[in-house]
Amino acid sequence: MRKYVLLSIGLTVLVAIFFSACSEESIKYQRYYSDGLNLYKTHCGNCHMEDGSGLGKLIPPLTDTIYLKENRDKLACIIVYGLSDSIVINGIGYKEKMPAEKHLAAVDLAKLLTYVTNAFGNNQGLYDISEVEKNLRNCK
């Protein structure tokens, strides 16, 4: 009997730890997403529009989930250093330069990228500070 009680207590503790870790990750994601929305409105929304649709053939949309997934490791670099190369999104070429946002801290980039990569039909999960820092070290 004592064996079953200890087993039950152990399983209860493991389940509690599991759900605690899940909820912490979920809370972090929600906080980053919410803060990222505010950063997006301040730094990106004027060009990429509130709904991420871009501006005609001048500014690319942020609704192309394939481009964002394939270039996830370059997104922080694009934001910090800008973009002067032409890119193709949804079969449309964009040549307009994107200005650099060198003043944004790694945590702000993580929040902004969590928002962008999960809004507008995207669903890539949390983009954390360590990923931003790693990607920024590899900018070319």
pLDDT of residue 65: 83
pLDDT of residue 23: 82
Q: Left if phi > 0, otherwise alpha if psi is -120 to 50, otherwise beta: which for 98?
A: beta
- The 10s digit of each residue's pLDDT in 44-69 is 999 999 999 999 999 999 998 899 99
pLDDT at 4 over 80: no
40 pLDDT band (50/70/90 cuts)? Answer: very high
CATH code for 33-137?
1.10.760.10
pLDDT at 22 over 80: no
The answer to whether the beta carbons of residues 36 and 131 sit under 8 Å apart is: no
pLDDT of residue 110: 98
The answer to whether the beta carbons of residues 76 and 112 sit under 8 Å apart is: no
- The 10s digit of each residue's pLDDT in 101-117 is 999 999 999 999 999 99
How is the chain split into domains, by residue range?
A: 33-137
Other CB atoms within 10 Å distance of the CB of residue 138: 10
